[in-house]
Amino acid sequence: MSTSKSFKIFALEDNALFSKMLNYILSMDDEHEVVMFEKGRDLLNALDQKPNLITVDYSLPDMTGEEVIQKLSTRMPHVPVVVISGQTDVKTAVKLFTYGVYDYITKEEDIRERLLNAINKIKVNQSLKEEVEHLREELSHKYEFDKSIIGNSKPMKKVFQMLHKTTDNAINISITGETGTGKEVVAKAIHYNSNRAKKPFVAVNIAAIPTSLLESELFGHEKGAFTGAISKRIGKFEEANGGTIFLDEIGEMQMSLQAKLLRVIQEREVVRIGGNQVVKLDVRIITATHRDLSKEMMDNKFREDLYYRLLGVPIYLPPLRERENDVILLAKHLLDQFIDQNQLEKITISSDAKQKLIDYHYPGNIRELKAIIELAAVMCEKNIILPSDIQYSSSSDLEAVMSKDMTLKEYNFEIIQRFLKRYDDNVAKVAKKLDIGKVTIYRYLKEIEELPK
């Protein structure tokens, strides 16, 4: 039975006896496909075979090992190179490491153990890189616009139009919308659909970090920069270099730190607290807030210059109550997610339950809908969600009623109808809960019946 050889090694060695020994050591693992070369030019001409590892003898007949390594660092910078040399000169080894050489092994050492250890480490590193690449590929599919952002309503079609304008450029983006409208999901979708998808996406919730720690969190610090700085810390901007940083709840940032953020954006560089090393940045900035920053700016709570630096492409996420029948699309999507995550049998939503979902106001937006659907999936019998399985919190119910622009009489109608739905049209129970007479409820119901349809 033949063994699949998935790890290709190029070995450059002009000494015939040592070449045989090296070939024997490298071929001990059935996974290895070993190709031996005597001349540097022959190896360089075969690079289209895409080796996973290259070993290089420093002394060669046609060109020096240093020349080979220089060319490899230009043509195949991501392929690890291990130098195997009879020279023990430290300066030579240090010089080769500047070209990106992975390891330097002298022929006087226990070459078998050193070489196999180096190869095992290289394999682990390559495996981790492949895993990271695979995860990024999965994320890019997960956050495709039509898969991660659900909606067919007119307001959402405008959002999609704006999103497609953000993928092929590095302009900053500012996302606004009520709490729970999915601002971070949109930020991730923008990143993973852009030309920065293979670089880091770093999210920072400004409101969740104490003001005293926020500067260090964003820009980093050197060891001993302040009390408690026991080691160097890389800031979030450095972590995101080459990719995207998402600053959530940017409206919560204090004015003193806004000035420092402005400088980082203008100069495209950062200096860690307590340090003097300048780190150049290539970072796309996406911000999000539920606040009206233009109003905050006029109230001198947000810097005008920073506001316009961050504005870029403004994207407004509409609340769920303005998204027509997107509620049902989202409910089905969230339900399917919950079923997959918990390995449940298929669950459907009855037509009456759908109507109940549509009638609700959702002050907590998509986040609240998700909680409602997941609870309904747990509570339902026979894998069908009924109206009774859909439960709203009383505080949310009150917010939903109070947020509408109605007369006092209309508010009374709304409250009575909601309580009747909640208590299955039990007038006596509703009268007791609202502390009003049953006659009052019947009178309101009669007036509702007489209203023009």
Residue spans of alpha helices (H) in 350-426? 351-359, 365-379, 394-402, 408-422
**How many Å apart are CA 324 and CA 107, to the nearest integer?**
74
pLDDT value at residue 397: 52
pLDDT value at residue 2: 47
**How many Å apart are CA 332 and CA 347, to the nearest integer?**
9
pLDDT value at residue 10: 95
Cα distances (Å, whole numbers) of residue 86 to 12, 25, 39, 59, 448: 14, 18, 17, 8, 98
Secondary element (H or E) of residue 170: none
* Sequence-separated (6 or more) residues with CB below 8 Å from residue 368: 180, 362, 396
**How many Å apart are CA 369 and CA 332, to the nearest integer?**
11
Answering whether pTM is above 0.85, one says: no
The per-residue pLDDT for range 366-413, each reduced to its tens digit, is 999 999 999 999 889 899 999 999 988 654 555 555 555 666 677 777
Q: Provide the b/e sequence for 200-224 (b: ≥16 CB within 10 Å).
A: bbbbbebeebeeeebbbbbbbbbee
**How many Å apart are CA 448 and CA 324, to the nearest integer?**
25
**How many Å apart are CA 207 and CA 175, to the nearest integer?**
16
Q: How many CA atoms within 13 Å lie on the side-chain side of 225?
A: 19
Cβ neighbours, 10 Å, residue 176: 19
Residue spans of alpha helices (H) in 143-182? 145-148, 154-163
**How many Å apart are CA 214 and CA 219, to the nearest integer?**
8
pLDDT value at residue 351: 94
Domains (range + CATH), the chain: 7-134 (3.40.50.2300), 143-318 (3.40.50.300), 319-402 (1.10.8.60), 405-453 (1.10.10)
Question: Which DSSP state fits 274?
Answer: T
The per-residue pLDDT for range 79-100, each reduced to its tens digit, is 999 988 877 666 777 777 777 8
List of the chain residues with pLDDT < 70: 1-5, 88-90, 108-109, 130-143, 145-146, 393-408, 448-453
Cα distances (Å, whole numbers) of residue 343 to 142, 160, 168, 337, 338: 19, 31, 38, 10, 8
Bridge partners for 286 per DSSP? 173, 246
Residue spans of alpha helices (H) in 38-89? 40-45, 65-75
Report the DSSP pairing between strands 53-57 and 7-12: parallel
Report the DSSP pairing between strands 244-248 and 32-37: unpaired
Tell me the CA end-to-end span of the chain in Å, nearest whole number: 80
